[in-house]
Amino acid sequence: MFPEITAAKISWRAYLLALGGCLLTTLAALPLRHLLDLANMVMLFLLTVFLVTLKLGRGPGVLSAVVSVVLFDYVFVPPHLELIPSDAQYLVTLAVMLAVALMTAQLTAGLQTQTRIASSREQQTRRLYQLARDLAGAASRWEVQTALDGYLGDSGYRAVLHLLDEGVAPQHSTADAELGDFVQDVIRRAKTLECPKCNHALFVPLLAPSRVNGVMVVTRSDDKARTPHEEQELFETVASLIAIAIERLHYVEVAEETHLQASAERLRASILSALSHDMRTPLTALVAMADSLTLTGRVAVASTTETATAIRNQALAMDQMLGNLLEMARLQSGKAVLRKEWQLFDDLIASSLRQLKNTRGSHPVRVHLAPDMPLVKFDAVLMERVVVNLLENAFKYTLPDTPIDISAAMEGEWALLTVCDRGPGFPSGRTEDLFELFVRGTPESSKTGMGLGLAICRTIVEAHGGTIQAHNRPEGGACVQIRLPLGIPPALDHEEMMS
């Protein structure tokens, strides 16, 4: 990638070719010696020197200059086949010829070098431009490093980024500690330094407009390449491109964080308002009912048993709400770990129904399981929370004795679980909003709740790579459908599984 600008490796073959060229010219000129003037013969040799230099470079050019003069003298200058010319004036011819040949060689070689430098510069610029374009599209530090690796390719150099935000280089050994010190030094002085002890590694600071972002450490992976120090200017250019990309990423992160904070702030506000309304109302009812137990006799109140049952139900409803709230907090904190295992839908439905045996009332529940439902991978505890929430909604918002249908089926690569009721259905046109936090179908409903249930369902289902959708049945009633990816269930290799 960085073409050699200095004297190219010139093998002995080039010198041999130069020698051959001179001999060929001599042989070609031999039959012409009676036709041409000696001065014109010289021109043939000068052309040879020029061509040799052009094709083979400076060294062979100089060789051909010297050899040409010697051959010319030996073969063409009288006396023939003798080195000492008969006439002293030929000495001038030979001297001028040598001088012109050497100068030709020198100038041609110089021009060649210039051309090579120009073309390598152009190539470098193109590569830098490509790097700049890659860096502009990089969305993470990892992609910045990838772009850099792509730029270096097999150039014989390797570069590692030590970014300030990530803490500089883990220090496992004394060698690493030394490297860490060096990095710190470079950052403090904001100056490129070479580390002679570590295989001439070059430490280039990543200087962005507002601060030093870190250090790029360039090492040679190919010992034949020049030391990174000799390419310092180039690496400093690369470092400045990277510094700008890192700076841009930094500001993107800052912007995202601010956005997150703002939405967390909004969420907190809605939690507080939901808590104060949706928890206080049932609490007030609890206090009133407990009071009514001690007031018996003075005021006409419902029977003790009835009141006690109401208190119990209210408390349990609040416990369910609190459970949802805690679950949501846990899921949103990002610390919840899915304990996914291969599960059966019949198990999930059975355990969800059993959890609700007290709230179910007189609703008949019909379970429709497609035959041969395969194992599906999910976190049983969380998914049970989803099904319980859906069933609870169905029990809560429909009239007693109306049936609830749960069905499980497969469709393509998805496992479907649908809960349907025969109630009033969802308010039309708002089925998407219902899965938002603290959104309720009817905002000031008399039913206890705070608009958490469906939001948790969506969070859990989406964490499993699935989707959840609500719709109303044409014949009346609400349906919520969960889709979970089927995956490939493990083979049952136990001997008895086949029986």
Partner 1 sequence: MSAPITILLVEDEPQLLRVVRSVLEGEGYRVFEADTGRRGLIEASTRKPDLLIVDLGLPDMDGADLVREFRTWSDAAVLILSARVEESAKIVALDSGADDYLTKPFGIGELLARVRALVRRIAKSSEGSSRLTFGDVTVDLARRSVTRNGEAVHLTNLEYRLLVLLASNPGKVLTQRQLMHDIWGSAYAENSHYLRIYVSRLRQKLEPNPAEPVHFLTETGVGYRFEM
Task: Say how far apart CA 85 and CA 80 lie, in whole Å.
Answer: 9
* Region near partner 1 per CB under 8 A, out of 74-82, 282-290, 323-331, 424-432: 323-331
Tell me which residue of 310, 221, 230, 218 sits closest to 6, measured CA to CA. 230
**Interface with partner 1 includes 349 (CB under 8 A)?**
yes
Rounded to a whole number of angstroms, the minimum distance from the CB of residue 150 to partner 1 is: 41
* Closer by beta carbon to partner 1, 73 or else 384: 384
Rounded to a whole number of angstroms, the minimum distance from the CB of residue 206 to partner 1 is: 45
Residue 254 is classified by DSSP as H
What residue has token string 């009817």? 442
Task: Say how far apart CA 208 and CA 243 lie, in whole Å.
Answer: 5
* Closer by beta carbon to partner 1, 182 or else 345: 345
10 Å CB burial of residue 128 (0-12, 13-18, 19+) is: middle
**Interface with partner 1 includes 283 (CB under 8 A)?**
no
**Interface with partner 1 includes 392 (CB under 8 A)?**
no
* Closer by beta carbon to partner 1, 127 or else 464: 464
**Interface with partner 1 includes 313 (CB under 8 A)?**
no
* Closer by beta carbon to partner 1, 96 or else 381: 381
Residue 228 is classified by DSSP as G
Rounded to a whole number of angstroms, the minimum distance from the CB of residue 320 to partner 1 is: 10
* Region near partner 1 per CB under 8 A, out of 141-149, 375-383, 433-441, 454-462: 375-383
At a CB cut-off of 8 Å and minimum separation 6, what does 339 contact? 379, 380, 381
**Interface with partner 1 includes 351 (CB under 8 A)?**
yes
**Interface with partner 1 includes 319 (CB under 8 A)?**
yes
* Alpha-carbon distances, residue 158 vs 85, 200, 208, 225, 392 (angstroms): 61, 12, 22, 11, 61
Rounded to a whole number of angstroms, the minimum distance from the CB of residue 437 to partner 1 is: 20
Q: Which two tokens stand for residue 153?
A: 């390719």
What residue has token string 């790029």? 216
* Region near partner 1 per CB under 8 A, out of 112-120, 365-373, 396-404, 414-422: 365-373
Instruction: Give the helix ranges, DSSP H, for 192-344.
Output: 232-274, 280-294, 304-332
* Closer by beta carbon to partner 1, 204 or else 328: 328
**Interface with partner 1 includes 323 (CB under 8 A)?**
yes
Residue type, 50: F
Rounded to a whole number of angstroms, the minimum distance from the CB of residue 351 to partner 1 is: 4
* Alpha-carbon distances, residue 80 vs 31, 85, 89, 229 (angstroms): 14, 9, 16, 56
Question: How is the chain split among helix, strand and coil, in percent rounded to 5?
Answer: 55, 15, 30
**Interface with partner 1 includes 350 (CB under 8 A)?**
yes
Rounded to a whole number of angstroms, the minimum distance from the CB of residue 387 to partner 1 is: 10
The Cβ-side half-sphere exposure at 391, using a 13 Å CA radius, reads 30
Task: Say how far apart CA 118 and CA 108 lie, in whole Å.
Answer: 15
Rounded to a whole number of angstroms, the minimum distance from the CB of residue 367 to partner 1 is: 4
* Region near partner 1 per CB under 8 A, out of 175-183, 251-259, 376-384, 462-470: 376-384
* Region near partner 1 per CB under 8 A, out of 74-82, 234-242, 243-251, 348-356: 348-356
* Region near partner 1 per CB under 8 A, out of 219-227, 266-274, 337-345, 440-448: 337-345
Rounded to a whole number of angstroms, the minimum distance from the CB of residue 497 to partner 1 is: 8
Neighbour count for residue 45 (Cβ, 10 Å): 24
Task: Say how far apart CA 263 and CA 332 lie, in whole Å.
Answer: 12
* Closer by beta carbon to partner 1, 24 or else 381: 381
Tell me which residue of 126, 97, 96, 109 sits closest to 50, measured CA to CA. 109
Is the preceding omega at residue 490 within 30 degrees of 0, hence cis? Answer: no
**Interface with partner 1 includes 316 (CB under 8 A)?**
yes
Find the binder of partner 1 among 343, 359, 448, 467 (CB under 8 A).
343
User: At 181, is the secondary structure helix, strand, or coil?
Assistant: helix
* Alpha-carbon distances, residue 367 vs 316, 348, 414 (angstroms): 26, 12, 19
Strands lying side by side in the sheet with 193-195:
157-163, 212-220, 201-207, 193-195
Find the binder of partner 1 among 312, 430, 447, 473 (CB under 8 A).
312
What residue has token string 């006690």? 308
* Closer by beta carbon to partner 1, 246 or else 376: 376
**Beta partners for residue 215, in sequence order:** 162, 205
* Closer by beta carbon to partner 1, 280 or else 354: 354
**Interface with partner 1 includes 129 (CB under 8 A)?**
no
* Closer by beta carbon to partner 1, 193 or else 318: 318
* Phi, psi angles (nearest 5°) of residue 207: -90, 110
| Interface of this chain with partner 1, residues 459 to 498, rule: CB under 8 A | 489-490, 492, 494, 496-497
Per-residue binder mask for partner 1 (CB under 8 A), 210-249, x = binder? ----------------------------------------
**Interface with partner 1 includes 134 (CB under 8 A)?**
no
**Interface with partner 1 includes 279 (CB under 8 A)?**
no
Q: Which two tokens stand for residue 488?
A: 């490939």
Site residues (CB under 8 A) for partner 1? 312, 315-316, 319, 323, 326-327, 339, 341-344, 346-347, 349-351, 353-354, 358, 365, 367, 369, 375, 380-381, 384, 489-490, 492, 494, 496-497, 499
